[in-house]
Structure 1
Amino acid sequence: MERFPWVEVFRGLAILEVVLHHLTGRFLRELAPGSPEWLFLAAVNRTLHFAVPAFLFMTTLVLGAGMLRDFRLGRYLSNRALRLLWPYLLWSGIYLFFRYWDHGIFQPERLLHQLLWGKAYFHLYFLAVALQLTLLLPVFLPLLRRRPPGVFFLLLALGLTLLVYFLNRHCRFLPYPGSFVLWYTPAIALGLYLAAHLDRLSHTLRLWPLFLLLAGIGLGGYLPLALEVLRGLSVNTFHYQAFHWAYTTGMAFLLLALAHRLAQGPLRAPLAFLGRYSLQIYLLHPMVVRLLERYPGFPEPLGFKPAFLIYLLLALFLPLFLARFLTRLRVSSLVFGR
């Protein structure tokens, strides 16, 4: 699967979305809530809120197709331990120290809780969810081998999603629903379907207008509610989640269709380069943004637009530079697991 160029192009597009999402959130604090500028930036920020489902969708597709081709449990687990578990534990430790340096906060009694739910720093929950997905996917291998039709995966997504939502609503067993893998069942189910029918991918991608409609309906319902949440107002959580699931699942498919198209053009090389180092950018860019925010003598005085651009360039290229440097030193696998 790694040899398919659209995989890394997809990751390149997704990591750009992640960085832009976090930067728009950072600069929202510079604007007066409710102002036209705040509303515009808030709408962009919430619209760019689909990276985690998209990455989980692609991870499911890649690992699911790989398991169908050749699956040995020991090799699968050792590979995931090197490429995911080790970076998660290492960078959780790094960010715990960084947070102590930044805010003077360290709570050893909460360490196990933070590691379990990905709360050592705000963005690390994705790796915790990806680890849960690693353990979950082999359970679906017999299902993938049967290659059931799309309607089966649709019913699986609807049934399991509603079960988890209402079970959590009544039992409150999830302290952080976004840190639980089954909270992303629609995107995962879509990845499972495509992994089982990878030979029909080009045909399936022709359904992009249907997923565009799904994403549009989802965004139309989700965005007003998300803006209300940003204002600190209460909303109907079921409506919020239902529209968000529809939007993010549709966007994951559309991102795949776009990556498949761009992989055949001149943008393939730069996007695939970003995708190749997407984990490194993901891990490092919040530290870059926070350090810039901590010392606002530069670039904020240059103005909103120049400052935003400088933040974006540094958040992308400093992690890329470090990743390439560590690769040349042949220690990248020790720091990033790859």
Structure 2
Amino acid sequence: MTDTRPAPLPSPSPTVPAEASDLLPAERGQGRPRLEWLDICRGLTIILVVLHHVTGAGLDHAPTAGKLYYAVLSVNRVTQLVVPTFLFLSALVFALSPLARFSWRRYLSSRARQLLWPYVLWTALYLGFKILTGVGPEAGQRLATFWNPGLLQGKGYFHLYYLLLALQVALLLPFIRLLIRGRGQDAREQGRRPLHLGWVALGGAALQLGIYFVNLRVWHLNSVGSLALWYVLPLVMGVALGAWPERFTALWARRRGWLLAACALALALYLPSGFAEVLHRPLNVLAYTAGNWAYTVLAALVLSGLSVELLRYSTPLGEKLRRLLGRLGQLSLQIYLLHPLLLWGLDRLAYPKPAALQVLLVVLYTVLGVGLPLAFARLIEGRRLSVWLFGR
């Protein structure tokens, strides 16, 4: 059977409302409300991205089949929610912007500056990094490798596939939003009801399964994790929720218990397949893929809901936490692009054998993997160097 499972976020493996710092940036100056919980959610998610990569590398050092190995593996599988979460938030924010003010020229120009340019630049930089570290292509193959599989397949480095995915999604979102034309704010003014979320979820799931079978019978792609159509469900859900301001927060207020329970159940059903995929055990590919979709979409909703909950804490500690997560969210692209360089160096240090020390090392490397890129991003924020490196 053709392997149609999504390529897992590469082990040792991205928006939201901040107009100038989004992994998939939204329109500027559109009169869109700035929702603090979205920045917070993106901040939480970028921490989970780094944790996912740290635990992926940690699997190479933990004793196979031991308790520590399965603990690290569990965290690694749980954090697979990160890409669907970023895409869900991107779709939600994009749907919030008024249809009447949409400009293809302005939209494509901003994507070229904030996505295409960083993608091309960092593909070149990471190719140079691989050459310097002795794992790059031979001299005569470097230009060809930069083009393909570098740019065309998103394989300039293990994490750059996301920017290729984000570019595809940036082109898809305007067309997905056409499905809600006449709804959203305009429909609310006319007294019309939005599409029922249950039907949206069923329709999105049916479309997602259809894409699975098209790949199985027609495309035969073994690695589909960088294909935007593989994430139709979180994109459709994000658009449906973003078309009506405050619709998500209202959903979370009414259904948080059901969403938490459904997410926990989906995770429990998915983990055995997730373990089997990493351990190269016999695997039902359809069950694995469907389980991954169900868990990650529900987890995106839950993580977004927990970000809303953080706004309720008005204590000094809560304020500091919200500010920190908000800054992480606003600088998430910078952290995303920089952290693999740091983790590459940390991974070459000796790993202690005691399990407790390895757990502490995972925490430490995650903190460093987030904190040091954050410090650099803040140091050059607002300077021309930041625009050249990150498009913002």
Shorter-chain TM-score category?
over 0.9
Q: Give unpaired runs (5+ residues) of structure 1.
A: none
Q: Does 1:16 align with 2:47?
A: yes
Correspondence for 2:96: 65
Letter in 2 for 1:331: L
Letter in 1 for 2:279: R
CA distance in 1, matches of 2:388, 2:367: 26
Tell me which moved more, 322-331 or 181-190.
Answer: 322-331
Q: Equivalences for 1:24-43 in 2 at 5 Å?
A: 24-43=55-74
Q: TM-score, normalised by structure 1?
A: 0.93
Correspondence for 1:49: 80
Cα–Cα, structure 1 residues 65 and 287, in superposed 2: closer, same or farther, change >3 Å?
same
Correspondence for 2:297: 249
Residue in structure 2 matching 1:142, options 166, 178, 189 = 178
Correspondence for 2:111: 80
Correspondence for 2:6: none
Residue in structure 2 matching 1:322, options 366, 376, 386 = 376
Letter in 2 for 1:310: L
CA distance in 1, matches of 2:371, 2:246: 36
Residue in structure 1 matching 2:211, options 146, 164, 167 = 164
Letter in 1 for 2:43: G
- Contact in 2 for aligned 1:280/1:323 (Cα 8 Å): yes
CA distance in 1, matches of 2:114, 2:294: 30
CA distance in 2, matches of 1:329, 1:62: 26
Determine what percentage of the aligned residue pairs are the same residue: 37
Q: Equivalent residue of 2:115, what SS? A: helix
Equivalent residues, number: 336
- Contact in 1 for aligned 2:263/2:295 (Cα 8 Å): yes
Q: Equivalences for 1:1-338 in 2 at 5 Å?
A: 1-2=17-18, 3-68=34-99, 70-106=101-137, 107-108=141-142, 109-110=144-145, 111-147=147-183, 148-149=194-195, 150-205=197-252, 206-265=254-313, 266=318, 267-294=321-348, 296=349, 303-327=357-381, 329-338=383-392
CA distance in 1, matches of 2:389, 2:230: 29
Correspondence for 2:186: none
Letter in 1 for 2:292: H
Deviation for aligned residue 1:67: 4.8
- Contact in 1 for aligned 2:331/2:374 (Cα 8 Å): yes
CA distance in 2, matches of 1:7, 1:199: 12
- Contact in 2 for aligned 1:5/1:272 (Cα 8 Å): yes
Deviation for aligned residue 1:283: 0.8
- Contact in 1 for aligned 2:127/2:157 (Cα 8 Å): yes
- Contact in 2 for aligned 1:289/1:311 (Cα 8 Å): yes
Tell me which moved more, 173-182 or 250-259.
Answer: 173-182
- Contact in 2 for aligned 1:57/1:252 (Cα 8 Å): yes
Deviation for aligned residue 1:145: 2.2
- Contact in 2 for aligned 1:11/1:278 (Cα 8 Å): yes
Q: Equivalent residue of 2:80, what SS? A: coil
Cα–Cα, structure 1 residues 215 and 329, in superposed 2: closer, same or farther, change >3 Å?
same
CA distance in 2, matches of 1:321, 1:202: 32
Deviation for aligned residue 1:229: 1.7
Tell me which moved more, 107-116 or 10-19.
Answer: 107-116
Deviation for aligned residue 1:246: 0.6
Q: Equivalent residue of 2:280, what SS? A: coil
CA distance in 1, matches of 2:44, 2:338: 17
CA distance in 1, matches of 2:134, 2:217: 36
Letter in 2 for 1:117: Q
Q: Equivalent residue of 1:146, what SS? A: coil
Cα–Cα, structure 1 residues 172 and 142, in superposed 2: closer, same or farther, change >3 Å?
closer
Structure that is richer in helix per residue: 1
CA offset digits 1:86-119 (Å, max 9, x no partner):
1111111111111222233224434333312211
Deviation for aligned residue 1:65: 1.3
- Contact in 1 for aligned 2:115/2:391 (Cα 8 Å): yes
CA distance in 2, matches of 1:226, 1:117: 24
Q: Equivalent residue of 2:298, what SS? A: helix
- Contact in 2 for aligned 1:214/1:246 (Cα 8 Å): no
CA distance in 2, matches of 1:55, 1:181: 12
- Contact in 1 for aligned 2:73/2:275 (Cα 8 Å): yes
- Contact in 2 for aligned 1:117/1:176 (Cα 8 Å): no
Q: Equivalent residue of 1:103, what SS? A: coil
Deviation for aligned residue 1:221: 1.6
Q: Give unpaired runs (5+ residues) of structure 2.
A: 1-16, 19-33, 184-193
